[in-house]
Every structure is written in structure tokens, then in C-alpha cells.
Structure 1
Amino acid sequence: MAIESEHRGSDSPYVARVWRGRTTGAGVMTSIATSTSELVFWEDHGVVHAAVRGPETVPTSVPIEAGSDSFGITFAHGASLSHLSAAALVDSGAAAEHVAGRRFVLAGEEWEIPGFDDAEQLVQKLVRSGVLTRDPLVDDVVWGGAARVGTRSVQRRVAASTGLTVGAIRQIERARGAAALLREGVQIPEVVHRLGFYDQAHLARALQRFIGRTATQLRRGGAEDVLSLLYKTDQQARP
């Protein structure tokens, strides 16, 4: 099985990434851990589906049908849907009702499914309606910024918008960054140094816990080893 995919960044503070993909054969994909939620759409045998997926704290195996098209809007840390509990979405999701054509229901309202190039138009509408909100503090502290409020307040606000702790988010993102570097062929000691792991054993435990692969497997790669969307953020890309 192979997945043809592409993704892009966004100027919207509510969006981390926009992606789309198509499978060229049936098989099993490893959905690796992620600390963000997303709004995802897919078409399977002519039927359109829509759902909100929450953060995933462990890798899971996902069966994939041949010829399935998918499209997603990955929200930035701190962006959340006001009608859904962030905690309840962790390692879970919520299906959205499909109305007809390219329309779906979210928070009791009908919305048009956007395209890959104009996903931000839907995001803007969700923000204006109050369905999508954002706590800017969360994204700042996740990437090491200093907060002007107490530690307990930070943890409460991060948990309220993501369902996770700051520590869990940073662990997941560091493991994803390491996996991306290893897939690019970066040597293991360099990954350990660049991302601040204690040693190679620490890196190995993080990869097994959040990615479901060893460093050697990631470096070897191969068309048969299919992982969910893997990319480096701007923060992870810095040496």
C-alpha cells in the first residue's frame, strides 16, 4: 500500500497544517501519536465522512481501503472547538453528520467542506461563529515561551484546550521531530543532541512509545512502512 499525500502550513493562528492524501492500495497504516486535534474529511466508496479527531497519545494500526481520498485541517495548539470536551477527544473523536454533497453538520450548524487551498475560509467562519476558539498562551508555553500567569493556571488552560499536559505535548512533539529527522537520514547521535534526549536509550523509548518504530526502522523506511502525516514544525526544524 502507498499513500500519496501533501501538506502545507498556514498563516492562520488557528491552523498548524492542512493536508490531503489518497491511497493507491489497501493495507494498514500506523497512526503515530500527535498532540493536536483536527477536522478531517474522507470519501470512501462514494460516501463522504467528516469527523473531529483528538490528540493521540499512542501509535495505532489503522486499516486503509484502496482509492480512499482524505483531507484534513490540523488545529494549532490552543485552538479548540467550543462545543466539545478536549479531554473526551484524547485518543478518540467525534463524527460529524454528512448532509449532502459537500456539506456537513458541526455544532448544530451546516457548513461547506472546503478544499485544500481554501481551508482557512472554513476556519474563519468557525471562528466568527464562536465554534472555534483559541487560547494564545497554550502555543507559546508548548514551545518554551514564558507565561505571565502561574504554573497551575498554565496547566489548567493547556488541559482545557488540548486535553493534555504541557509535558505530554512536548514529549509527543519531540518524538515526532526525531522520527522526521531519522526519516531524512540524520544520524542517531545527532538527533539525540539536536532534540535534547538524555542518550540513545531515551530516544529509543520515546520512539517506541509514540511512533511505534525503532530508530533503525525509521532510517530504513520503505514504501511498505506507512506512517500517518509526519513533518517537522518550524520549532523542530531549528538546529
Structure 2
Amino acid sequence: MSIESEHRGSDSPYVTRVWRGRASGAETMTSIATSNWELVFWEEDGVVHAGARGPETAASRAEVDGESDSFGITFAHGASMPHLPIAGIVDRGIESAHVSDGRFVLRGEAWHIPDFDNAEQFVQKLVRAGVLTRDPLVDDVVWGGAARVGSRSVQRRVATATGLTQGAIRQIDRARQAALLLAEGLAPLDVVHRLGFYDQPHLARALQRFIGRTATQLQRPQPTADPLSLLYKPEDPAAS
């Protein structure tokens, strides 16, 4: 199977990444864990689809049939849609029942399907209409910031906005960072020390659970292995 992909960051506080891709051939791919949810639009065999895909708490295998073009808006931690509880789409997705003439239905309203270049403008329309909201505390505490409210309130707000606990988000994002460092050639023991794993077995378990690969497989990828879904470094908004 052939997969071509492109992605970019965003200056919107609601968006962490915008991506697009093309896949050809009937094969499988490894979908790695992610702590963010997204809106996804794809065309498969001439039919256009739209839907929301929730956070994924473990690596899984996904089937890709025929020719497929896709585009997605990955939302920042804390961005959510009140009418669509994120906890209800963790490890699964929900597809819009009505997609036609370049429009799809969201919260009972028809919206023009956005593209790679105007994703932020589309997001702003959602914000102005009250479809998309943001809890800035959530993104802050996920990255280690100090909250001015009690810990139970923080836990509740993180779970409401992301569908995950703070611990789960950090475990997933640390495994993704580890996979990138290993692919760049860093030794497993150095990754352990840099990212705070207990030891190499702890790193190995995290990679297997969240990435679906061993350290060796990431450092020496085989041409016959299933391709991985989009992997990029989680970006700390405070660092930008």
C-alpha cells in the first residue's frame, strides 16, 4: 500500500494540526494512539464522507480499501463540541449521515466542507456559532501548568474536554515522542532517560501498546511492514 501525507501546525488555539493524505491499494495500516480528537473528511471510490474521530488509547490495525483521499483537523486539548461529548467517541468515530454537494451536517446544520488551506477559517465559524468551545485550563495543565482550581475540578474538566485522564494523555504523548526519537536514531536507553521512563522494559511496553512497534522496528523499519498513521511531535503551546 502507498500512503502520501502532508501536515502543518496551526496558529489557532483550537487546532493543533491540519493534515491531508492519499492512500492507494487494499491493505492495512497501523493506527497509533493519539490523545486528540479530530474532524475528518475523506473521499473513497468517489463518495465523500465526513465524521468525528475520537482519541485512540492503543495502537490498532485499520483497513484501507481502494483509492482514498483524506483531510483532517486535529483539535487541541481543551477544544470540544458541547453537543458531542468526547468521552462517547474515545476509540471510535461517528460519521455524518448527510454529506452532499460539498456540505455536511454538524449539530443539525449544514456546513461547507473545509480544506487544507482554509481549516482555521472554518474553525472560527464553528466558534462564532457556538458549535466549538475551548477550556484553556485543560491545555495548560496537560503540559504541566499549575491550575488555580482544585485537583478534582481539574480532573473533571480535562475528562470532559478530552475524554481522557491527564495520566492517559501524558502516557500517549510520551510514547509518540519516544517513537520519533527512536526513528531519528536515538538509543533506547537515552530515550528512557530523556523522557522519564522507569527502564527499557517500561519503554518497550509503552511502544507496543501505543505505537504498535518495538524500538528495533522503529529504528530499522522494514519495507514490508504496515505503514503507520500520522506521527508528529506533540507541541507545547507555551513553547511557541
TM-score band by shorter chain is: over 0.9
Cα deviations by residue, 1:109-164 (Å, 9 ceiling, x for unpaired): 11111111111111001111111111001111111111111100000000111111
Work out whether 1:51 is the aligned partner of 2:60. Answer: no
Which residue number corresponds to residue 189 of structure 1?
189
Return the alpha-carbon distance in structure 2 between the equivalents of residues 183 and 105 of structure 1. 40
Structure 2: segments with no counterpart, 5+ residues? none
Counterpart amino acid of 2:41?
F
Which residue number corresponds to residue 233 of structure 2?
232
> How far does residue 85 in structure 1 lie from its aligned partner after superposition?
1.4
> How far does residue 177 in structure 1 lie from its aligned partner after superposition?
0.8
The question of whether the paired residues in 1 share the 8 Å contact of 2:49 and 2:99 is answered with no
Return the alpha-carbon distance in structure 1 between the equivalents of residues 215 and 236 of structure 2. 21
Equivalent residues, number:
237
Normalised by the size of structure 2, how large is the TM-score? Answer: 0.95
SS for the counterpart of 2:97 is strand
Which residue number corresponds to residue 142 of structure 1?
142
Alignment of 1:72-111 (within 5 A): 72-111=72-111
SS for the counterpart of 1:234 is coil
Which residue number corresponds to residue 119 of structure 1?
119
Distance 1:2 1:186, change over 3 A: farther
> How far does residue 174 in structure 1 lie from its aligned partner after superposition?
0.3
Which runs of 4 or more aligned residues in structure 1 lie more than 2 Å from their structure 2 counterparts after TM superposition?
A: 222-225, 233-236
Which residue number corresponds to residue 71 of structure 1?
71
The question of whether the paired residues in 2 share the 8 Å contact of 1:2 and 1:224 is answered with no
Work out whether 1:158 is the aligned partner of 2:175. Answer: no
Q: Which stretch shows the higher mean deviation, 98-107 or 196-205?
A: 98-107
The question of whether the paired residues in 1 share the 8 Å contact of 2:48 and 2:99 is answered with no
Return the alpha-carbon distance in structure 2 between the equivalents of residues 72 and 136 of structure 1. 22
> How far does residue 223 in structure 1 lie from its aligned partner after superposition?
4.1
Counterpart amino acid of 1:125?
K
Root-mean-square deviation (Å): 1.4
Cα deviations by residue, 1:56-83 (Å, 9 ceiling, x for unpaired): 1011110112321000000000001111
Work out whether 1:177 is the aligned partner of 2:177. Answer: yes
Percent of aligned positions that are identical: 71
> How far does residue 233 in structure 1 lie from its aligned partner after superposition?
2.4
> How far does residue 17 in structure 1 lie from its aligned partner after superposition?
0.3
Counterpart amino acid of 2:213?
R
Counterpart amino acid of 1:42?
W
> How far does residue 92 in structure 1 lie from its aligned partner after superposition?
1.4
SS for the counterpart of 1:186 is coil
The question of whether the paired residues in 2 share the 8 Å contact of 1:55 and 1:89 is answered with yes
Structure 1: segments with no counterpart, 5+ residues? none
Cα deviations by residue, 1:163-197 (Å, 9 ceiling, x for unpaired): 11000000000001111111222221221111111
The question of whether the paired residues in 1 share the 8 Å contact of 2:31 and 2:59 is answered with yes
Which residue number corresponds to residue 16 of structure 1?
16
Normalised by the size of structure 1, how large is the TM-score? Answer: 0.95
The question of whether the paired residues in 2 share the 8 Å contact of 1:97 and 1:106 is answered with no
Which residue number corresponds to residue 215 of structure 1?
215
